[in-house]
Amino acid sequence: MVQIPKQPVPSSPAPPAVPTSADVARLAGVSRATVSYVLNNTSAVRISEPTRRRVHEAAKELGYVPHAAARSLRAGHSRMVLMPSPNVPAGPLYSRFLSELQWALSRLDYTVVQYGGIGLDRDEAARAWAELRPVAVIVPGGGLGAEGVHVLKRSGARAVVTLGSERVEGAHALLLDQDGVGHSVGVHLLARGRRRVGVVMPEEPGLEFFSTPRLQGVRRALEGTDATVTELPLAYEEDSAARLAGRWRSLGLDSVFAYNDEYAMLLMRALQDEGVDIPRETAVVGADDLMLGRLLRPRLSTVHIELPSGRDLAELVDRAVRDPGGEPEVHEVFGARIVHRESS
Amino acid sequence: MVQIPKQPVPSSPAPPAVPTSADVARLAGVSRATVSYVLNNTSAVRISEPTRRRVHEAAKELGYVPHAAARSLRAGHSRMVLMPSPNVPAGPLYSRFLSELQWALSRLDYTVVQYGGIGLDRDEAARAWAELRPVAVIVPGGGLGAEGVHVLKRSGARAVVTLGSERVEGAHALLLDQDGVGHSVGVHLLARGRRRVGVVMPEEPGLEFFSTPRLQGVRRALEGTDATVTELPLAYEEDSAARLAGRWRSLGLDSVFAYNDEYAMLLMRALQDEGVDIPRETAVVGADDLMLGRLLRPRLSTVHIELPSGRDLAELVDRAVRDPGGEPEVHEVFGARIVHRESS
């Protein structure tokens, strides 16, 4: 690891004074209220063009920037939408959704702030978010309970939206049907004549919010048939995959749902190195429909997942902020369909 | 795309009143100052245990949460460290660095806030960040100029740290030597007897901050030799790779630096589909040392990149916050070394 050398901290001199709106008012020769009207572009008050210009020039000369927190204290609420960062690195699919959402919220004049709640439990995290007084909070997958929603609302959040498999009391919910991902794979494998299905369960923490409902979905698809499901714990490491591949034939499986495309690539390589013929001996299916699946040989079968549009979610947030007393909205917003290629 | 149905927004009823510290004081029968002392855990003032308990119970009953912005207005500065989100999706390497940094800053009692500045130019972005009055700002790759640093400092930011190939006046700099990544590849290919080197230049916007200095590094390594460099524009799409592979033999190259491991996987597959023998006809080298490179056949040669430790950067931020008048620190914090596998 490259080191940054440690250096002693000298006793701190006073930092330079930060210019305030009072300084701007003094330099421009106007009242503080006028400064506020001009810089916040209020149309309710008529202010002459020369005065406007004087205020802008004074602000520029002093390097004055309005204080968002002070403005929100005056207004009684902020335009800040808080999105806690997910605990797992976001994949390409989710990253694109987030950036579309940020863009759409910016267009509606909200400031989007992402906040890492690492190491906090659910209710502590909600309290930390509440201290920032966001006007709305969007929480991905499992990070919030009913108590947390209550804390946020009591601190002035007008809208709390969760993205996950389950509803949380008091919050708007976009239901992401992870169960449906597994279900579509189960139906596909049954139709291809497979009966002994392995399901990869990643050992990395944080992924159980996705893997557990996906496993349930596979089970649901196979219910009432003679097909069986075998859980296969797997770490995202070559060694772990090699060990699983080494005992593959003793498991007697004819197919595997590998959780997602990246785990599928890892496992497929290990199986091929063991001489397992794909798909003849074992069918392999991933999920997420990443490009890498098309680059593998045989080409990887996968599940194409549709997230809601960031713009629709931004509009839901805006609607909820303007009508904080409304009934929580619940929408099922997940599309899952199998993409059949060569590996199954 | 799954649609969220639009719904009319009824006229907004007044939201419920947010409890303030005055409400807590009233319920507990103490002064507002006492509430503040107790909830901010001030050790300078002695307050009896029963009083403390009364304040905590009243706060809990009312659902009162302190207001971070109000607290920072009183204190004159915040504990917020702002990190603008990069414009390109963060890869796994950078994601891990960010989460380590967030964790380390949280341990030093800073609140880390990520902020998307999508669609803003550099100086506008700095002004938007300044409105949040962060105590420190950490800016990745090329997002900030000297004017922006000035705006941030005038609005009270005690430390501005840039992560990139170049210094910005007035800011602390962690220099990420992208040039060195390309240089290590150039030296490696020369040593393997290659003389006609292609360099992939991704067409996706935002990546030029990385690809341009990497290209320079390859050129620098080949200077004074008879080797040549050919730039190869490539979009991260199968079609684009197939077109490049289709005219590969007319280019007369014996090697290619594919920008990173993901572009290398894309290009290597297209070259193999054209029957190009790797590495005999063409050596391929990626960068980032992702696991997928070890899963390819032939196994991918790559550049292992070491980012600075998140903890070291957190300590630099803390040092700079405590000594805002100090000289900007400049550290070269990037390690690049070639990992030679089968593809070169």
Q: Which residues of A touch B319 (CB under 8 A)?
A: 7, 9
pLDDT of residue B132: 80
The Cα A248–Cα A271 span in angstroms is 8
Lowest mean pLDDT among A260-264, B67-71, B313-317: B67-71
What are A29-39's pLDDT values in tens digits?
998 888 888 87
Evaluate whether the domain defined by B178-306 bears CATH number 3.40.50.2300: yes
H-type helices in A131-177, by residue range?
146-154
> Is a pLDDT exceeding 90 seen at residue A63?
no
**Cβ atoms B342, B301 nearer than 8 A:** yes
pLDDT of residue A11: 52
Most confident option among A129-133, B21-25, B266-270: B266-270
Most confident option among A78-87, A117-126, B204-213, B244-253: B244-253
Of B12, B95, B133, the CB nearest to A323: B12
CA distances (Å), A62 to each of A328, B150, B294, in order?
46, 11, 56
Of A72, A89, A128, the CB nearest to B95: A89
Residues A80-176+308-333: name the CATH superfamily.
Answer: Response regulator (3.40.50.2300)
B141 or B147, which is more confident: B147
Q: Do A331 and B85 touch (CB under 8 A)?
A: no
Looking at the DSSP bridge assignments, the partners of residue B58 are none
Q: If you write DSSP's letter for every residue of B245-292 in order, what string do you get?
A: HHTHHHHT-SEEE-SSHHHHHHHHHHHHHTT--TTTT-EEE-SS--HH
A283 or A101, which is more confident: A283
Question: Backbone phi, then psi, for B215, in 5-degree steps?
Answer: -60, -45
Amino acid at B238: E
Residue from B150, B139, B138 nearest A65 by CA: B150
In angstroms, what separates the C-alpha of B75 from chain A's closest C-alpha? 13
Please give the average per-residue pLDDT across A130-137, as a whole number.
87
Q: Do B116 and A112 touch (CB under 8 A)?
A: yes
> Is a pLDDT exceeding 50 seen at residue B150?
yes
pLDDT of residue B98: 77
Q: Provide the percentage of residues in chain B whose pLDDT is more than 70.
A: 87
Retrieve residue B42's tokens.
């001030």
Q: Least CA distance to A272: which residue of chain B?
A: B295
The Cα A124–Cα A102 span in angstroms is 25
pLDDT band at A324 (very low <50, low <70, confident <90, very high): confident
CA distances (Å), B251 to each of B31, B206, B282, in order?
80, 27, 11
Q: Least CA distance to B83: which residue of chain A?
A: A114
Please give the average per-residue pLDDT across B12-21, as a whole number.
65
Architecture per CATH, domain B21-66, reads as Orthogonal Bundle (1.10)
pLDDT of residue B181: 94
**Cβ atoms A98, A273 nearer than 8 A:** no
The Cα A101–Cα B20 span in angstroms is 32
Lowest mean pLDDT among A139-148, A307-316, B62-71: B62-71
Residue from A32, A30, A29, A8 nearest A20 by CA: A32
Q: Which residues of B touch A238 (CB under 8 A)?
A: 291, 294-295
> Is a pLDDT exceeding 80 seen at residue A116?
no
**Cβ atoms A293, A341 nearer than 8 A:** yes
Of A92, A269, A335, the CB nearest to B295: A269
Of B6, B113, B266, the CB nearest to A113: B113
> Is a pLDDT exceeding 70 seen at residue A117?
no
ipTM above 0.95, yes or no: no
**Cβ atoms A320, A158 nearer than 8 A:** yes
The Cα B147–Cα B138 span in angstroms is 16
Q: Do A1 and B115 touch (CB under 8 A)?
A: no
Of A13, A133, A151, the CB nearest to B63: A151
Please give the average per-residue pLDDT across B131-140, as a whole number.
87
In angstroms, what separates the C-alpha of A95 from chain B's closest C-alpha? 6
Residue-range domain boundaries for chain B: 21-66, 80-176+308-333, 178-306
Q: Least CA distance to B100: which residue of chain A?
A: A118
The Cα B22–Cα B24 span in angstroms is 5
CB count within 10 Å of CB B117 equals 20
B116 or B326, which is more confident: B326
Do the first three CATH levels of A21-66 and A178-306 match, i.e. the same topology?
Answer: no
In angstroms, what separates the C-alpha of A227 from chain B's closest C-alpha? 31
Q: Least CA distance to A68: which residue of chain B?
A: B131
Most confident option among A38-42, A68-72, B196-200: B196-200
Mutate to test the interface with A, among B295, B317, B337 (most CBs of A within 10 A): B295
Q: Least CA distance to A270: which residue of chain B?
A: B295
Please give the average per-residue pLDDT across B74-94, as a whole number.
69
Retrieve residue B159's tokens.
């430390």
Residue from B45, B136, B47 nearest B84 by CA: B136
B290 or B112, which is more confident: B290
Q: Which residues of B touch A20 (CB under 8 A)?
A: none
- Per DSSP bridges, beta strands A302-306 and A335-339 are antiparallel
Q: Do A102 and B89 touch (CB under 8 A)?
A: no
pLDDT band at A1 (very low <50, low <70, confident <90, very high): very low
**CA A44 to chain centroid:** 39
The Cα A127–Cα B93 span in angstroms is 30
Rg (CA), chain B: 27
Mutate to test the interface with A, among B82, B127, B132 (most CBs of A within 10 A): B132
In angstroms, what separates the C-alpha of A213 from chain B's closest C-alpha? 20
What are B32-41's pLDDT values in tens digits?
888 888 877 6
Retrieve residue A325's tokens.
């007393």
Of B2, B7, B89, the CB nearest to A92: B89
